Amino acid sequence: MIPKKRILLGVTGGIAAYKSPDLVRRLIERGADVQVVLTAAACRFVSPLAFQAVSGRPARHDLWDEAAEAAMGHIELARWAELVLIAPASADFLARLAGGRANDLLSTLCLATEAPICVAPAMNRVMWQHKATQANVAALIGRDVRLLGPGSGSQACGEVGPGRMWEPAKIAESLLDAPPNAGLLAGLNVLITAGPTRERIDPVRYLTNRSSGKMGFAVAAAAREAGAHVTLVTGPVNLPTPAGISRIDVESAREMLAAVHRHVAEADLFIAAAAVADFQPVEIARQKIKKQGVAVKLDLEPAPDIVMSVADMAKRPFVVGFAAETNDVEENARAKLKRKKLDMIAANRVGDGLAFDCEDNALTVIWPGGKAEIARAPKVEVARELVALIARRLPPPPGPARRAVRARRTPAAPLSRNRSRRSRR
């Protein structure tokens, strides 16, 4: 959440601009003061007068407005804004923003402002997926520009796919409404693993799995929403870093193990959502193994068990594991919970169109003496429910903070039987 009230709404050229007057209304309903700035292309889709009618302020659209610029109006706007929101953000504007261009009023004030910038992309699916657009988006995310969407669905051009601007209500809620779990993990340090690992066979080949990392990244975003300081250790994935999260990229299970143990001493909570390889080659060939028309024997050994290594620590955080199972999900998860001495485990069925390569998931969450089901839903929603369950099970920290932390959690939820052990750490 960004609890800002003075919002400068930038509207760029695209058919989704017809939604922007409704967005103004939604923001004002939540207490925001909205100033609209349009690009020349946006004026061809929606009249500046329409925005004046809903915002109560004349919409700005000309960098060369003599009356406004007599007092350096673009600098004044840049300083006035507590948040800059570009919705819709066209492919062209994303490119200009990434390139640091300042050739119209909106791009100029984006360069001149010190306020946070959010963009809600809207474009054809092919334009969104083009490498140039993705490179621009990656550059903007690297500069802490917050990405809102895009969504996926039918488009004005008649095609179907990613590139739809989020609906105005969703944008307004994302910016100005408190997230569902606000404060549940306030002040806690959370360490999370995500994605697959790659175990090298030779310089060009490796063993891996189908994990996209989306569930782990969703859990990281949900923990950040809940107020935690989040460090995310991720295997090779093609995902943007959620806002406000420290990210560490690794490749192999050994590298992930090392990264986890560099940071775990500071963690209050460890969530092992990564799909770490179970096996790794005993030896890595120095040169590419040539195809010779005969069978090749590959000797494998167990890869490091990262979650167990953390659970075995004398002074350990609260440990949550994941179990991806193709059969006997609950039975296998309970065995893993006990065998690895975890505080909680989140289990899900994979394969046959479930979990991998999907935008949604469902979990069976188990802890000593209890169980909860999280129904199939988008992964971000599943992650929020999981974080809420974890927060209820976490024992409150010792000392003066105990009463405040307990008050933030749901009173009816019993605390873990590991509470006494945790409080002695």
pLDDT for position 68: 54
pLDDT digits (tens, 9 = 90+) for 131-155: 999 999 988 887 888 888 888 887 7
**Position 370 in a domain:** yes
Same domain, yes or no: 160 and 195 = no
pLDDT confidence bin for 292, thresholds 50/70/90: confident
**Position 39 in a domain:** yes
Q: Which position among 110, 118, 157, 358 bears the catalytic label?
A: 157
Residue 358 annotated in active site: no
**Position 311 in a domain:** yes
Give the domain CATH number at 133.
3.40.50.1950
Q: Which residue has the higher pLDDT, 123 or 360?
A: 123
Same domain, yes or no: 161 and 213 = no
Task: Give the number of domains in the chain.
Answer: 2
pLDDT confidence bin for 52, thresholds 50/70/90: very high
pLDDT for position 78: 87
The yes-or-no verdict on residue 66 having pLDDT over 70 is no
d(CA 168, CA 175): 11
Domain end (from 176, 197, 216): 176
What is the share, in percent, of the chain residues with pLDDT greater than 70?
A: 88
Q: Which residue has the higher pLDDT, 29 or 396?
A: 29
Domain end (from 116, 147, 176): 176
Same domain, yes or no: 142 and 236 = no
Same domain, yes or no: 298 and 346 = yes
**Domain with 52 in it:** 6-176
Domain end (from 126, 142, 176): 176
**Position 380 in a domain:** yes
Same domain, yes or no: 193 and 169 = no
**Position 184 in a domain:** no
Q: Provide mean pLDDT across the span 391-415.
A: 54
Same domain, yes or no: 219 and 242 = yes
The yes-or-no verdict on residue 3 having pLDDT over 50 is no
Same domain, yes or no: 351 and 220 = yes
pLDDT for position 419: 35
pLDDT for position 4: 52
**Position 181 in a domain:** no
The yes-or-no verdict on residue 90 having pLDDT over 70 is yes
Same domain, yes or no: 74 and 221 = no
d(CA 222, CA 290): 46
pLDDT for position 240: 82
Give the domain CATH number at 292.
3.40.50.10300
